[in-house]
Amino acid sequence: MPIGAPKDISDIRRFFFEPDQSKQHPYEALRAYFIENKPVAQVARAFGYTQGSFHFLRHHFRPGPLVE
């Protein structure tokens, strides 16, 4: 798709509603936990993690250099 070409709004919405498995998916899960204060069980279920795997993700999450 050329730069500046109009994008189908459904593609843009899909980015938010169907995060891929790279960085967006864990970001959304961690955001739900840390920012929205959702319980681990709810976040794990919503994002397709087991509770154990979400605890692992949460434990290994390290804020970037701009977060102190």
pTM above 0.85, yes or no: no
Distance between CA atoms of residues 67 and 18, nearest Å: 27
| 46 in Cβ contact with 32 (< 8 Å) | yes
How far apart (Å, rounded) are the C-alpha atoms in residues 31 and 9? 24
Per-residue pLDDT of 8-52, as tens digits, reads 667 677 766 776 667 788 888 989 999 999 999 999 999 999 999
Report the distance separating Cα 58 and Cα 56, nearest Å: 5
pLDDT of residue 5: 59
Domain boundaries, the chain: 22-68
* Number of C-beta neighbours around residue 2 at 10 A: 4
